[in-house]
Amino acid sequence: MAKSTIYVIRHAESTHNVTKDFSLRDPGLTPLGLTQASSLGTTFPTLSSIGIIISSPLRRTLETTLAGFSEIIDKGGVKLRLDADLQERSDLPCDTGSEVGELQAKFPGVDFAGLGDGWYSKEGRNAADDESVRARARAVRGRLARVVKELEGSERKDVVVVTHGVFMKFLTGDESIDLPKAGWRAYTLEGGDGEEILLEV
């Protein structure tokens, strides 16, 4: 049986990427970013094999996800899950998420039930130090292993993960990864028992 492919995607161009104003709280995409994200629906290698899409709950990743994959989320029945552990590493305002109520108002069709109050706090497990970020990345890979098992035997066995440029270095274990905005890379998940790793396809 063919293994699931995990597509790790970097969000499209965000306002703070252009203005370099890192004091903006949870900025969204620029018009170019929306175009980049929308193009995912036509340039992505295959939409018919995607079973689950997992996104960071920051605005720019949600906007990338919805612009790029609304066709299969809305009409194809593919589930969208939010994972707070996919948020960006730093504790700058631009990398700090929004209150759940604000997100619900902006994205009314998205289920935010899994996000607790203060999910965006940059303390404790969400702290910006390497050890905390590595732990979050390890937790995400563990959940990916469960998702892959959940999709086993399905025609829609592949997973899309929409996250951020620095966090994906920890997620993939590749410090040199530097994808373009709305760029993606394909991986398989290997290992188990909390020691899962992503191997580039």
Decide if 166 is inside a domain.
yes
Decide if 1 is inside a domain.
no
The share of the chain scoring above pLDDT 90, in percent, equals: 86
Task: Render pLDDT for 1-58 as a digit per residue (tens, 0 to 9).
Answer: 578 999 999 999 999 999 999 999 999 999 999 999 999 988 888 899 999 999 999 9
What is the structure's pLDDT at 131?
97
Range of the domain at 155: 6-200
- Contacts of residue 146, Cβ cutoff 8 Å, sequence gap at least 6: none
The share of the chain scoring above pLDDT 70, in percent, equals: 100
- Contacts of residue 65, Cβ cutoff 8 Å, sequence gap at least 6: 37, 53, 55, 73, 80, 160, 162
What is the structure's pLDDT at 129?
96
Q: How many domains does the chain have?
A: 1
Sorting pLDDT into bands at 50, 70 and 90, what band is 61? Answer: very high
Q: What's the rounded Cα separation, in Å, for the pair 61 and 163?
A: 6
Cα angle: 77, vertex 116, 29; to 5 degrees: 60
pLDDT for 75 beyond 90: no
Return the amino acid letter for 152: E
> What's 102's domain CATH number?
3.40.50.1240
* Bridge partners (DSSP) listed for residue 158: 50
Its pTM stands at 0.96
Decide if 193 is inside a domain.
yes
Give the mean pLDDT of 172-190.
96
Q: What's the rounded Cα separation, in Å, for the pair 23 and 93?
A: 5
What is the structure's pLDDT at 1?
53
